[in-house]
Amino acid sequence: MRHKQFGVAVVGAGHIGSLRAGMAAAHPAVDYLAISDIDPARAEKLGRQFKADRVSGNNSDIIQDERVHAVIVSTSEPQHAAPVIEALKLGKPVFVEKPIALTLDDADRMIAASEESGTSLHVGYSLRFNRPYLVGKQQILDGKLGRIVAGTGRHYHTKANALKIIARSKEATFVKDALTYLVDLYGWFLEGIRPVEIVSRSHGIVFRDMGHDADEVTWAIITYEDGTIVNLGLGYALPSNYPSHGRMIRAELLGEKGVIFFDGDHRENIVHSEEGVTSTYVGRDTETGFLTSNASGNWALGSYWGPLGEEIRIWLDYVATGKPGPNTTARDARTNLEVTLAIEQSSATAEVVRLGKARA
């Protein structure tokens, strides 16, 4: 269903839900905004900030609201399925944070609800919306690389960010929460080619010494059905006061006709201040900061700029006009989940995992 003007419900008023609510409130096609959270006080606070038309401590209240035509689900990962399915059954397009779910069963129930109602479901993989990757995708579509034969990527983060993830949701492991971005990115670059085999290894001492059941490093080799090999690595062992406020990524693609090298370490724009530079995600101050390293983007001059802002604006445009963008589909997100589950299974068993056989 297309709407020139429409109402949006934001379910979940945490850090990312707050950003999504701000984007929705600023979008010219959104004429009604509702916000809910299991903590009514948090919903009220966010509602006041963005002048929401309705706030509630009950998710169903705003999902069922007849003035709401589309729903953004920004709850913690284990709580994605219920509000997503409820909204889809009502025929309301849904945008849900990544990963789509923590089990394949939940992902399948969400996809079934989407397909049975004929209602779209998209998943928040904002990495796609970084300008270099968008331009790189176009180079692939234009045939500049020819057939892709291999790729490699690594994702580094600080221990402070890792502890934030652990505190937020122990079920959302570093692989499901962070490495999933690279799994999605390479799946997008290799669109239409299925991953079929995983072998991976994990190791950790930092967080285990703190009493957490978490490995700070994971490396995986993904083989696709056409023989393409992709090597992905994740490291959450950078010092807590390292000046990056978000993920640091390097990615490469090797094709028969060309190559692409992406350098996303963010060291080209540096700020240093005696007043301190604050990471919006962990709230930690450092004297030096990589200015554009916050993964989702930044508030500046009264607006939010960066991949998360572009991602949700493009999705809202889609709801308003029907014009699709590069937002991750539910089926692509399900594949991402299957791959990350297989990576964890291979790390745990030291065995090769054929996709379709990864434990849910």
At 1 the pLDDT is: 46
Cβ(8)–Cβ(68) under 8 Å? yes
Buried b (16+ CB within 10 A) or exposed e, 264-291: bebeeeeeeeeeebebbbbebebeebbb
d(CA 44, CA 52): 9
DSSP 133-148: HHHHHHHHHTTSS-SE
Quick: pLDDT tens for 139-194: 999 999 999 999 999 999 999 888 988 887 777 799 999 999 999 999 999 999 99
Residue 345 backbone class (left: φ over 0; alpha: ψ -120 to 50; beta: rest): alpha
At 280 the pLDDT is: 73
Contacts of 344 (CB under 8 A, 6+ apart): 173, 175, 176, 200, 202
Quick: pLDDT tens for 226-244: 999 999 999 999 998 899 8
At 167 the pLDDT is: 84
Residues of the chain with pLDDT under 50: 1
At 359 the pLDDT is: 53
DSSP letter, residue 21: H
Give me the chain's average pLDDT, please: 93
The CB density around residue 94, as the number of other CB atoms within 10 Å, is 29
Angle at 171 between CA 180 and CA 62, to 5 degrees: 90
Cβ(166)–Cβ(172) under 8 Å? no
Quick: pLDDT tens for 75-85: 999 999 999 99
Q: State pTM to two decimals.
A: 0.94
